[in-house]
Amino acid sequence: MKLSQHFAAIANTVATAAGKPLTFIICCLAIIAWALTGPLMGFSDTWQLIINTSTTIVTFLMVFLIQNTQNRDGAAIQAKLDEIIRSGAGDNMFIGIEHLSEEEVEEFRKRCERAAQAHAARRVDEVQHV
């Protein structure tokens, strides 16, 4: 198995676990435990450093793991949409637009919106003439 496959498996596992209610509860309990130890440690700099360092490290690592899973999910969805467009009645010019600039994608979005509005107007006219 390649390194990227190992990383993807780990990233998926961690991202899935991070999104579970039990994980949230455990994190809340850890913060409560830390807060309760404050008086015992005299609210010292070391006491504060423990939570600051812990949360910084976890946040730093989670950013990369979550970004990795989102990138793969987005690419998979895009591939599925491309296949639907390719095999259906959709316009093939939409395949690959995720690689365009924001302005170019926005122009495609506006074009789709105008086409949808025109289609809706035609449907209203058809219903009114029946």
Residue 37 has pLDDT above 90, yes or no: yes
Q: Residue 123, CB half-sphere, CA atoms under 13 Å: how many? A: 6
pLDDT tens-digit series, residues 40-60 = 999 999 999 999 999 999 999
Tell whether the model's pLDDT for residue 1 goes beyond 80. Answer: no
103 with 92: CB under 8 angstroms?
no
The domain limits of the chain are 3-94, 100-130
CA atoms within 13 A on the CB side of 10: 11
